[in-house]
Structure 1
Amino acid sequence: MKVHSNYFIAAVVCLGLAACGGTNPRYISNPSMYNAAFFRQKGDLKVGGAFVANPNNLLTSVRLDTATKDEANKNLGFDGQIAYAVTDHFLIQAGGMYRSEKDIFNSDDITSNSGSQINYKRSMFDIGAGYYTAMGASRKVFFNGVLSAGFGHSTSADIGTPNERRRYFDFNFVKYQLTPSVNFFFSENARLSLAPRFSLLTANSFNTNYTAAEQEQLNYNTMGRGRLLFEPGMLFQGGTPGLPWLKFEVGAHFSTNPLTAVSENNSSTVFSDSDRRLRSRRFLLSLGLSFYPFEGSHRQ
């Protein structure tokens, strides 16, 4: 009985040490809106823009109630997109995104401070090309398949409080994306797009003042590996008969945390949640406008 008691005490101590030695997550990715081009024939053109945000703390300042919370965050930005149907089945597209993010923690995993704040800025420009075709004679459902690559830059400023200490970790990245989607045309003024998206994130040109030990603690030392993400999304567009070229849109955009990390020798590591210190933002809502200058003017 005494042996079992000793095991129990040891387990409790280990759990306590693990809790005290926890590491706050760092975010290395943020989903962009996928470019939902509702094309049906050659010459269709889309130009759009949307405000994107996580609704959490959107309209309030980010402050931490130490009595009830360990973490608070804010995540918002803007996406702009353009796409053109070169033929009845081939399209090209381009887009850009900007993100401003903030995390506040009721702990500092670098020093003995009582709290920390991490501010992120991200931007990306992407280009792509793909295929689209009707699914059935009614032409009410279309399939799109697009390959694209995004080229971006990410910065982070990690500030401990109240005894101020500053760290930063900046890098460039390339995000390769495969986006199949199914577009439903309920009417000329109501349509819905559903898209699973598969992404490979690669990073380079690192600039940081974290020590080597701190980078290992936070997993920043693994940033040279490519990371796979699953980033599904959905987007609804609606309009009015009098303005066929203008569509209001609302969307939901998701991302898993990195599923695997692939090293230069092609070996891969599958992450468990407890090991996943480098993460992706998980959810964004979008609200915007899309312009289709030729909508209705050459529709068969």
Structure 2
Amino acid sequence: MIVTVTANPSLDRTVALEAPLEVGSVQAARGAREDAGGKGINVSRVAAASDAPTLAVLPLAADDPFAVSLHGTGVPLVTVPVAGHVRANITITDPAGETTKLNLPGARLTDPERAAVIAAVVDACAHAHWLVLAGSLPPGVPDDFYVEVIDAVRERWGDAAPRIAVDTSGPALSAVVERAHPDLIKPNEHELADLVGIALDAAAADLVAAVLPVARRLVPERVGAALVTLGGDGAVLITADGAWAGRPPRIRVQSTVGAGDSSLAGYLIADTRGAAPAECLRTAIRYGAAATTLPGTQAPTPRDLPTGDVPVRALDV
């Protein structure tokens, strides 16, 4: 079972332009779509589409129109009643796959609502294999919210607690790495550099070589493993026992929104099925690549996975 937590869900509205975005002008759009989103929900959608048991936990008001889109995904849910409504995020894409995003802050959670979310997560983790804490935090929630969740889950379940995967950024990620020792983090190269406080060489010919020593500052002392997504350059997996890098097959990109979430889902799906680290990385890259070939934030299914080769190599550490 993969349990996901989305503290700040969103209705993702995607507008596809006929030409590159021209700021300040009026342009024609060739289509639009709406998807129930938020990073944890995206992970659960991908897992459910691949027949991997999953459960998504999120705050949701009973009268929130977002519920219609969410229930349409077919993902098993645990919803925590709150007063505020889910935000709407806007994504603009062009024919070349260039993406522009406008993210709203989300509804404020009160202290009792926050406590109710934590309690629901703890209960949902019975018999879970992974707990995924993903996405930004809404107003009213402190930067160490994910630390609170991890502490509560581990206190309740002890040795039976699920492994913890975290996909967030900024102060929320820093707090988790500093205080909670998650089993896996999934930053991109920019989030990793910000976390460690090191500027990566933007012109580096070998992005993998630039990322590896930075990630090694965290693994395994502060985190169990790091899955670092690198966009078109693939991804790197660093564990206590080794490191691997892989590259995606050649694809046509429609939208990069949700690609990182799909990569994380692919990794977790493979891991729960007993795959070795290199195969978990390969599966992560396939799912991330598949997501970029779909419009909006659609969840890739096994039928969408690219058939091209995904070479994975072990790295010297």
Structure number with the higher strand fraction is 1
Asked whether the two chains share a fold, i.e. TM above 0.5, the reply is no
TM-score between both structures, scaled by the size of structure 2: 0.27
Structure number with the higher helix fraction is 2
TM-score between both structures, scaled by the size of structure 1: 0.28
